[in-house]
Structure 1
């Protein structure tokens, strides 16, 4: 398989959805905790990108299988003439690399990383696989936003500060004790809100565009239950919550004052929201959800990175 076909199979362009939260978490760890572990950073990057590519390849493989069952041939695997056995081999290889890197990361840190990693792997696989994939349920936006927004950011912070007891396990005299620094966890969660909202909105926009087709295919997503008008309002609200959250964190001095420059993106984001509300058609305006995610979280990542570089 050529590199170009491989990149199409794993939809390499969509990997920014995981790489931006990863970058945000690392920048946050440096800014707030003055800590950065290059080895853990590289290992987590390998595990994250390989697992993200694997789940996308699984999704495309399942789409191909279902398309064949339904007499269709519009899947990526059919389009690019990729051998199914090669696809399965690629999926297996990516999962092995991701798992190996995850184990290495655990050995460098602690069991918290392993536990969160296992849960994330399970959710990632069953997001598109199984009798009732998560993506086909009304909780798709919640799972994608929480795991790709908060969990990735939390782990990308934690791998740099695992020895600060932000979360700790101790076992002594047959007693298991768990210690959690709730304040710091809350700050990280709040810091993750724009990413969670942006990722959830990518899923929501996709489901809004496909709601009629999904119903015909017995796929009942969130817009089916709350209706398209309410789904469009939620689409808008999630972005605004992210902006309010940024202002709140600046006031609380959790993130730098320069983060307010991100508010400039609200002008373009508003235009994109109106464009999608007026015409929520997939091949025309779905892309605005991706653009908004990049505008909000990409700018936040760039600002954080610049602040960190200046402080160094």
Structure 2
């Protein structure tokens, strides 16, 4: 199997949706707490990317095995396994190898930090597997946008902050004398959630745009996603609203003093993003306009990352 086939099988280009929250969380830890652990940074990066590639590979493998459509959509031909003639044994080897790497480095990260990382990591592992696997995968339900947004936009951001400040009391779990105790700094956790909203909504919109474009094909393949239940027009309106919520959130963060006034420069990205929103709403197409959802996510959140880095320099 060529390297190109592997990259398409794991959809390497989509890993930006993991790397951006990871980077933002790291910069936020530096900005607000002044802490950075290079060792934990590297360990989490390896575990995160390996697990993201594994779940994508599982999704492509399951879609290849379970695809029902034919003739009109050529679903199997579009799948990397068919396109690059990847043997099923090799595909499974890739999946289990990536899962093993993610698990080993995840456990190592937990040993270097705290029980919180182990517990949250275990939840993410289970959610990631059932997102694409099982009799009714989450990705085939109207919960896909919520799960992808929360787990990739919030949980990754939280963990990428926590691994640098795990001993500063933002959250701790203690098991002693058969009693499990959990302590949380509610204020700081609320701030972490607020800084994650542009990421949560941007990632959710990538999946929403994908499901809007694939609504007819998904029905044929018995995938009843959110646009099926709320209707295509409402889904397109939701697509727009989620972006605007992200911008309102940035203004709130500046008012709360979490970020400096310079962070309001992010609002300038609203101009091209609004144009992309209208273009997608006018012609939702997988081949022509779906990429605009990805471009919007990258434009808004890379700018967000850059401005957060700038805030560090200002401080």
Q: TM-score, normalised by structure 2?
A: 0.95
What per-residue deviation string (whole Å, max 9, x for no partner) do you get for residues 241-289 of structure 1? 0000001101111122221111111000000000011001111111111
State the Cα distance separating 1:170 from its structure 2 match. Answer: 3.1
Equivalences for residues 229-308 of structure 1 within 5 A: 229-308=233-312
What secondary structure sits across from 1:169 in the alignment? strand
For residues 310 and 116 of structure 2, what CA distance do their matches in structure 1 show? 30
Number of positions where the alignment pairs a residue of Structure 1 with one of Structure 2? 311
Task: Give the SS at the match of 1:218.
Answer: coil
Structure 2 gaps of 5+ residues are none
- The alpha carbon displacement at 1:78 in A equals 1.0
Q: Deviations over 1:222-254 (max 9, x none)?
A: 111111111111100000000000011011111
User: Paired residue for 1:10?
Assistant: 10
Residues 194-245 of structure 1, C-alpha deviation per residue, up to 9 Å, x if partnerless?
0000000001111111112222222111111111111111100000000000
TM-score (norm. length: structure 1)? 0.96
The answer for the alignment partner of 2:170 in structure 1 is 166
Change (3 A) 1:167 1:288: same
Paired with 1:252 and 1:59, the residues of 2 have a C-alpha distance of 40
Return the offset for 1:5. Answer: 1.8
Distance in 2 separating the partners of 1:217 and 1:7: 25
| Alpha-carbon shift at residue 87 of structure 1 (Å) | 1.2
Please report how far the alpha carbon of residue 173 of structure 1 lies from its aligned counterpart in structure 2 after TM superposition. 4.8
Instruction: State the partner residue of 1:59.
Output: 59
Equivalent residues in 2 for 1:126-205, closer than 5 Å: 126-205=130-209
Distance of 2:49 and 2:233 partners within structure 1: 35
SS at 2:224 equivalent: coil
- How far apart are the structure 2 equivalents of 1:234 and 1:69? 28
